[in-house]
Amino acid sequence: MKLKISGLTKTYKNGVMALDNVDLEIGAGMFGLLGPNGAGKSSLMRTISTLQSPDSGEIHFGDINVLNNPMALRKVLGYLPQEFGVYPNMSAERLLNYFAQLKGISSKEDRKKIIKEVLEVTNLWDVRNKSVSGYSGGMKQRFGIAQLLLNNPKLIIVDEPTAGLDPAERHRFLNVLREIGANHTVIFSTHIVDDVRELCREIGILNGGKILYRGTPTDAEAQLDGKIWMRIIERSELDDFARDFNIISSNFNQDNTLNIRVYSETQPNETFVMAKPQLEDVYFVTLKNDRL
């Protein structure tokens, strides 16, 4: 089923325009919504999830007119918000059983079956008897996924799930998403470019409430072919280079020199070498120029 968003606009009471005429079509698979803090990602996620209303625009998921019929969407939605409250001191298995009852799965056998399935897919089966309140951040996030999978949602929305996770937990979490993305429509927001590079078939880059790029990571990188240049400079030279060239990123080396990457249609000068475009270049160029 396709999610179709058109002309979505939202200005908060304080005057901040969080969504500015957003048009977006999202099909089956993993969709990565990439943008810096304050870009409007959560506003978009909350609006699709029917937790807040836009000022104008439309959202359709398959046959469902989401803004006219929010209850119909909620029935097929699994939403993991950015902050997911405090969990009671109860084992994962018992808590899932409780949530499954709330979600109306009345047969004990059905509950047992689905709970086993969601614990396995989120790699929590071995710790199912441990209290969720004692879980690590990454385990809690995976538990959040287990919980939303209980009623077999058709549309899954996860808002910045990797923020604050250590690298190992982040990796484990992304693997769980990868598995789920194979047979669900998943929208996943993040400000971490590495999160989306391998995981997402399609990405959108959002900033200032606007979709600035929409397509595959590979196509985006290809658009920058021959336009990314790099060289090493001394730290003290950075200001001069920043004035003369369009620097899109700089990274320290161990000896206190910097690798700089520059965006330019032609070789900036003979000291620069051409670099293979990476998704991070796509992200920074798009944010800087308001388009790719």
- Which window, 11-19, 213-221, 228-236, 241-249, contacts ligand ADP (CB under 6 A)? 11-19
3-state SS assignment for residue 112:
helix
| Binding status of residue 38 toward ligand ADP by CB under 6 A | yes
The footprint of ligand ADP on residues 39-78 (CB under 6 A) is 39-43
Looking at beta carbons only, is 37 or 256 nearer to ligand ADP? 37
List C-alpha distances in Å: 129 to 90, 120, 142, 144.
9, 13, 15, 16
Kindly list the strands in the beta sheet with 185-190, ordered across the sheet, starting from the edge strand earlier in the chain: 77-80, 155-159, 185-190, 29-34, 202-207, 210-215
| Binding status of residue 32 toward ligand ADP by CB under 6 A | no
The footprint of ligand ADP on residues 130-169 (CB under 6 A) is none
- Smallest CA-to-CA distance from 45 within 189, 193, 153 is with 189
Task: Report how far residue 34's alpha carbon sits from residue 209's, in angstroms, rounded to the nearest whole number.
Answer: 12
Please, is 103 exposed, middle or buried when counting C-beta atoms within 10 Å of its C-beta (0-12, 13-18, 19+)? middle
Single out the residue of 2, 7, 16, 274 in contact with ligand ADP (rule: CB under 6 A).
16
Looking at beta carbons only, is 85 or 104 nearer to ligand ADP? 85
Single out the residue of 14, 129, 183, 254 in contact with ligand ADP (rule: CB under 6 A).
14
Single out the residue of 35, 144, 153, 217 in contact with ligand ADP (rule: CB under 6 A).
35
Looking at beta carbons only, is 37 or 254 nearer to ligand ADP? 37
Looking at beta carbons only, is 16 or 182 nearer to ligand ADP? 16
Question: Count of residues binding ligand ADP (CB under 6 A)?
Answer: 12
| Tokens encoding 227 | 């336009």
Looking at beta carbons only, is 43 or 141 nearer to ligand ADP? 43
Long-range contacts, stretch 282-287, CB < 8 angstroms, 24+ apart: 282/205, 282/213, 282/217, 282/220, 282/221, 282/223, 282/224, 283/34, 283/193, 283/205, 284/248, 284/249, 285/224, 285/248, 286/205, 286/207, 286/212, 286/213, 287/36, 287/205, 287/207, 287/212
Q: How far is the CB of 246 from ligand ADP (least distance, A)?
A: 25
Looking at beta carbons only, is 100 or 186 nearer to ligand ADP? 186
Q: How far is the CB of 195 from ligand ADP (least distance, A)?
A: 14
Q: How far is the CB of 132 from ligand ADP (least distance, A)?
A: 25
Site for ligand ADP, rule CB under 6 A: 12, 14, 16, 18, 35, 37-43
